[in-house]
Amino acid sequence: MDDEGKKPRRIRYKGTHPKAFKEKYKELNPEQYKEDIEKVISQGRTPAGMHRSICVQEIMAILKVVPGQIGMDATLGYGGHSLEILKHLKKKGKLYATDVDPFELPRTKERLNNLGYGDDILVIKKMNFSEIDQLVIESGLLNFVLADLGVSSMQIDNPERGFSVKVDGPLDLRLNPKSGEPASELLKYISEEELEAMLTEYSDEPFSEQIATAIISKLKKGGTIETTTHLKQIVIEALKFLPENRRSDETKKACQRCFQALRIAVNDEFDVLEKFLDKLPDALSKGGKVAILSFHSGEDRRVKKYFKHYLNEGIFIEIAPDPIRPSVEEIASNPRARSAKLRWAIKA
């Protein structure tokens, strides 16, 4: 066999198991290594490069999708929720799915197309779900809408995206890396007061003052915060005043909250959500259903507020009295489901 006919060799790694994201050749090719993927999932872990959809059965019970309907998956991601919806449509009707991630969206499209869901039943668009009013111009009024506000596991696991405190990578945190500015740039011009307020509002950070002071002090001295590790080390230093028996646990949580706050700020997530909620009623048909899955108290508060307002105005005929939480079994199988809250509403 000549050189052109040879298959490219996979990346070599040290030790018995790959640790780096790019080296996990089995997890990044789940179709070829189904037994290995099932083993990872059975251990309560999410395979690298994949995403396990949350509250799927609960969402389908709310939306009650039937053949012939027209609906929207506002946050396509890995396509798990969309796939379940498509199964219920049974090739009759249409699902519109949107996402802003320029890297994951074409992969998901290819995956779903290969399963037999082409443009006749599935229309995928690279757009922000806050533009739902523009989508409806093409789709017509929607029988159902689903919005999963969580970050996909593919984004979290890939160190190049900068979402995870666990691995070193550029401090980016953009859902669309081709638009806007990364978190590292945001930190260069934000004031200490603004940063403290952001950490408090976007992540309920109890040590927002100490962390904000440490970050701004580092920058004023000519230091840089370009990577996830840089930011993590600053947070660790800022919280060294804590008692030793609390320090490790509190620092870990503070790092996670700090990354969360920066992600929300970089992607303007609360403003985007409010624009979507503003336009939602006019996009739904009579009796149309909406299900929104949130992972942050700020998101849930906004969804609850808007739903209650629309109910009081007679725009919605019924809303979830309380948020639905993932089952104990789902959380045990998929720990990333732990913070999820699901709310629903029905248009009058």
Owner of token pair 């590790």 = 229
Amino acid 131: pLDDT: 97
pLDDT for 18: 53
Angle at CA of residue 209, ends 207 and 210, nearest 5°: 70
Q: Measured between alpha carbons, how far is 134 from 53 in angstroms, rounded to an integer?
A: 26
Structure tokens at 278: 């503003």
In which band, very low, low, confident or very high, does the pLDDT at 42 lie, cut at 50, 70 and 90? very low
Predicted pLDDT at 335: 85
CA distance linking residue 332 with residue 67, whole number of Å: 33
pLDDT at 167: 82
Q: Are 65 and 42 in contact (CB under 8 A)?
A: no
CA angle 158, 86, 142 (to 5 degrees): 100
Top-confidence residue, 107 or 70: 70
Query: Residues 6 or more apart from 257 whose CB is under 8 A from it?
Result: 199, 203, 204, 205
Sheet containing 122-126: order of strands: 122-126, 94-99, 70-73, 142-148, 284-294, 341-347, 316-319
Q: Is the dihedral of CA 142, 94, 124, 266 positive or negative?
A: positive
Is the CB of residue 207 less than 8 Å from the CB of residue 214?
Answer: no
155 or 28, which is more confident: 155
Q: Which residues contact 59 (CB under 8 A, 6 or more apart)?
A: 81, 84, 146, 291, 293, 342
Q: How many CA atoms lie within 13 A of 31 on its CB side?
A: 5
Distance, CA of 327 to CA of 313 (rounded, Å): 33
More reliable by pLDDT, 256 or 310:
310
Domains and CATH numbers, the chain: 56-153+270-347 (3.40.50.150), 177-266 (1.10.150)
pLDDT in the model for residue 24: 47
Sign, CA dihedral 51-269-147-293, equals: positive
Residue 13 has pLDDT above 70, yes or no: no
Long-range Cβ pairs for the range 173-181 (8 Å, 24+): 173/259, 173/262, 173/263, 173/266, 173/267, 174/266, 174/267, 175/100, 175/101, 175/151, 175/267, 176/100, 176/101, 176/102, 177/102, 177/103, 178/102, 179/100, 180/266, 180/267, 181/266
Cα–Cα distance, 33 to 27 (Å, whole number): 7
> Most confidently modeled of 2-16, 146-160, 334-348?
334-348
187-242 tens-digit pLDDT:
999 999 999 999 999 999 999 999 999 999 999 998 889 999 999 999 999 999 99
Contact in structure between 147 and 297 (CB atoms under 8 Å):
no
* Better-predicted residue by pLDDT, 323 or 7: 323
Mean pLDDT score across all residues of the chain: 87
pTM of the model: 0.83
Q: How is residue 286 written in tokens?
A: 């009579």
pLDDT score of 103: 84
Percentage of the chain modeled with pLDDT above 90: 69
171-184 b/e (C-beta count within 10 Å ≥ 16 → b): bbbbbebeeeebbb
* 266-325 confidence digits (pLDDT tens): 999 999 999 999 999 999 999 999 999 999 899 999 999 999 999 999 999 999 999 999
CA angle (238 as vertex; 232, 244 as ends), nearest 5:
95
- Whole-angstrom CA distances from 145 to 74, 85, 96, 276, 293 are 7, 11, 9, 11, 11
